[in-house]
């Protein structure tokens, strides 16, 4: 149109019949010279795990770049679920077991920073439903984005937001660099060691790593719902004898307020419960503000893996239709929500699993349930999302070993977050936010040490990694 317009003004026309769109089914891209940027460590994906990985790598002294496609860090922690599970062991479900904060380090620093800006409930103890989790750590998702962005910058990370990781430059089984695309152009980022925190395992896939696509979860677009009353929601659930989970913590600056509620849907009025069932809506919510439900989850099970663009497009539309119906349900049935509206949606649907990347070790359900530890543990963890059906033995912890984070077949690539662990029931533990954050600290620290020592991820001495993690306030007791 522009060409035709200019042509018409200049008194000549362009013959569009010469633009042949039927010329073959493949287009060969011309070779292009890309500018190169050089780093010690590149972290792909600035979400739940990536924020922590990049911060950890930079704090070890590595020149670190973070490549994040959205305009902010935080990832699914700010878009998907209700609370950060879990910094603690499940002590409340096991009488006699001591309360213990099992994930500390950078993950806890984020909470400390959020606390200062009124952006978290704190580690609020569950007063009901503590067979599931003993605490609820709810966050203000927008403050989380700001706080983590600031932490990255303060740590010296070169933060590239609005930048897509679009390829890997391979040298045999070693990654030499990655291709990054933004409105500043297409660039090559060379580094000695890489961490894939893209959730989808994009970097590992580009590097030729083995993977599968289990498609074993629904996709989701959670909504933040404003103009509501969580206290009236509590009364509504209580009046139907439906409350299954409850926690009190800091809300709108005041302690001792309800910050988490979950309910038995079948107890609620049939119009609400059946309507919620039809749109895959969860009853559970958390809040750190008086008039806001931070998350209401709307689920949809796709027929194929969420790496399929065209099926994702259909799911995106379906989820937005379901979100609108969810608001109608709240307005109609829940007192205090008559004028509720959608205040936040995720910019794209959230996944619970995309690609499953093959690593040197695959954490098994028995490792989780038997509270197994390994001689190369890089963190410990005690939460299972299917509790009380599955709980870590005696309210203890299991270890996540370094080998579970090394991408098989690639010399200098680590993986952190939802892309590890093949067994669905084991993944229901390892995929949770606080586990991903701990994995982030482990992989970022390891990548920086590998870069400093010019070694591959398998040559790094565990004793050195462990020492650096302990210095980073990572907790290791079982």
Ligand X SMILES: Cc1cc2nc3c(=O)[nH]c(=O)nc-3n(C[C@H](O)[C@H](O)[C@H](O)COP(=O)(O)OP(=O)(O)OC[C@H]3O[C@@H](n4cnc5c(N)ncnc54)[C@H](O)[C@@H]3O)c2cc1C
Give contact residues for ligand X (rule: CB under 6 A).
Answer: 44-50, 67-70, 75-77, 80-85, 164-165, 197-200, 202, 220, 222, 297, 350-352, 417-418, 431-434, 436
Rounded to a whole number of angstroms, the minimum distance from the CB of residue 418 to ligand X is 4
Residue among 244, 333, 239 at smallest CA distance from 285? 244
**Considering beta carbons, is residue 144 or 336 the nearer one to ligand X?**
144
CB-based contact 125:101 (threshold 8 Å): no
Rounded to a whole number of angstroms, the minimum distance from the CB of residue 18 to ligand X is 36
Structure tokens at 418: 């939802």
Rounded to a whole number of angstroms, the minimum distance from the CB of residue 286 to ligand X is 8
Residue among 395, 111, 161, 120 at smallest CA distance from 257? 120
Rounded to a whole number of angstroms, the minimum distance from the CB of residue 164 to ligand X is 5
**Considering beta carbons, is residue 336 or 439 the nearer one to ligand X?**
439
**Considering beta carbons, is residue 169 or 455 the nearer one to ligand X?**
169
Rounded to a whole number of angstroms, the minimum distance from the CB of residue 74 to ligand X is 7
**Considering beta carbons, is residue 412 or 435 the nearer one to ligand X?**
435
The Cα–Cα gap between 474 and 470 comes to: 5
CB-based contact 382:393 (threshold 8 Å): no
The Cα–Cα gap between 184 and 70 comes to: 15
Structure tokens at 84: 């950060």
**Considering beta carbons, is residue 50 or 275 the nearer one to ligand X?**
50
Distances in whole angstroms, Cα of residue 54 to Cα of each of 98, 254, 290, 455? 33, 33, 34, 19
C-alpha dihedral sign at 295, 301, 302, 304: positive
Residues 6+ apart with CB under 8 A from 459: 450, 453
Distances in whole angstroms, Cα of residue 322 to Cα of each of 221, 263, 411? 9, 20, 44
In the numeric block, the tokens 């307020």 are attached to 257
CB-based contact 233:333 (threshold 8 Å): no
**Considering beta carbons, is residue 336 or 430 the nearer one to ligand X?**
430
Rounded to a whole number of angstroms, the minimum distance from the CB of residue 217 to ligand X is 8
Reduce the DSSP state of residue 208 to 3 states and report it.
coil
Rounded to a whole number of angstroms, the minimum distance from the CB of residue 16 to ligand X is 35
Rounded to a whole number of angstroms, the minimum distance from the CB of residue 355 to ligand X is 11
**Considering beta carbons, is residue 58 or 84 the nearer one to ligand X?**
84
**Considering beta carbons, is residue 165 or 242 the nearer one to ligand X?**
165
**Considering beta carbons, is residue 87 or 336 the nearer one to ligand X?**
87
User: CA-based Rg of the chain, rounded to a whole angstrom?
Assistant: 24
**Considering beta carbons, is residue 418 or 448 the nearer one to ligand X?**
418
**Considering beta carbons, is residue 215 or 336 the nearer one to ligand X?**
215
In the numeric block, the tokens 């197994």 are attached to 372
CB-based contact 141:159 (threshold 8 Å): no
Residue among 66, 84, 138, 141 at smallest CA distance from 347? 141
CA dihedral defined by 245, 251, 255, 260, rounded to 10 degrees?
0
In DSSP terms, 226 is beta-bridged to 292, 341
The Cα–Cα gap between 103 and 121 comes to: 17
Rounded to a whole number of angstroms, the minimum distance from the CB of residue 52 to ligand X is 9
In DSSP terms, 225 is beta-bridged to 293, 342
Rounded to a whole number of angstroms, the minimum distance from the CB of residue 113 to ligand X is 18
Rounded to a whole number of angstroms, the minimum distance from the CB of residue 72 to ligand X is 8
Q: Is 432 exposed, middle or buried (0-12, 13-18, 19+ CB in 10 A)?
A: buried
**Considering beta carbons, is residue 67 or 207 the nearer one to ligand X?**
67
In the numeric block, the tokens 């309210």 are attached to 395
CB-based contact 243:235 (threshold 8 Å): no
Rounded to a whole number of angstroms, the minimum distance from the CB of residue 405 to ligand X is 12
């Amino acid at each position: 149109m522009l060409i035709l317009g200019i042509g018409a003004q200049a008194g000549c026309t362009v013959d569009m019949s010469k633009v042949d769109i039927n010329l073959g089914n493949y287009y060969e891209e011309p070779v292009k010279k890309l500018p190169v940027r050089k780093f010690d460590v590149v972290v792909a994906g600035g979400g739940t795990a990536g924020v922590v990985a990049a911060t950890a790598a930079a704090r070890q002294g590595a020149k670190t770049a973070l490549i994040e496609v959205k305009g902010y860090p935080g990832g699914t922690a700010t878009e998907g679920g209700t609370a950060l599970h879990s910094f603690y062991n499940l002590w409340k479900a096991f009488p006699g077991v001591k309360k213990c904060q099992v994930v500390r380090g950078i993950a806890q620093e984020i909470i400390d920073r959020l606390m200062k800006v009124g952006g978290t409930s704190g580690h609020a103890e569950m007063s009901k439903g503590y067979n599931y989790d003993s605490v609820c750590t709810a966050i203000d998702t927008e403050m989380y984005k700001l706080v983590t962005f600031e932490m990255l910058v303060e740590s010296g990370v070169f933060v590239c937001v609005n930048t897509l990781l679009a390829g890997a430059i391979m040298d045999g089984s070693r990654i030499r660099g990655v291709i990054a695309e933004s409105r500043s152009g297409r660039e090559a980022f060379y580094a000695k060691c890489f961490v894939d925190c893209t959730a989808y395992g994009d970097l590992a896939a580009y590097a030729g790593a083995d993977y599968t696509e289990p498609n074993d979860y629904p996709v989701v677009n959670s909504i933040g719902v404003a103009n509501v009353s969580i206290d009236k929601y509590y009364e509504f659930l209580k009046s139907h004898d439906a409350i299954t989970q409850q926690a009190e913590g800091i809300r709108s600056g005041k302690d001792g307020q309800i910050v988490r509620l979950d309910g038995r849907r079948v107890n609620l009025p049939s119009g609400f419960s059946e309507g919620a069932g039809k749109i895959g809506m969860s009853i559970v919510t958390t809040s750190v503000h008086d008039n806001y439900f931070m998350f209401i989850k709307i689920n949809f099970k796709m027929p194929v893996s969420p790496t399929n663009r065209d099926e994702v497009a259909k799911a995106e539309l379906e989820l937005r239709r379901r979100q609108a119906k969810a608001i109608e349900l709240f307005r109609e049935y829940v007192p205090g929500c008559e004028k509720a509206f959608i205040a936040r949606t995720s910019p794209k649907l959230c996944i619970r699993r995309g690609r499953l990347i093959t690593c040197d070790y695959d954490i098994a359900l028995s490792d989780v349930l038997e509270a197994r530890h390994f001689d190369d543990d890089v963190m410990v963890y005690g939460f299972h999302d299917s509790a009380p059906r599955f709980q870590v033995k005696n309210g203890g912890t299991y270890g996540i070993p370094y080998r579970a984070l090394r991408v098989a077949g690639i010399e200098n690539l680590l993986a952190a977050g939802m892309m590890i662990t093949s067994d669905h029931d084991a993944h229901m533990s390892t995929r949770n936010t606080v586990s991903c954050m701990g994995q982030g600290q482990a992989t970022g620290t390891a990548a920086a040490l590998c870069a400093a020592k010019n070694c591959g991820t398998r040559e790094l001495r565990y004793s050195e990694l462990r020492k650096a993690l302990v210095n980073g306030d990572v907790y290791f007791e079982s």
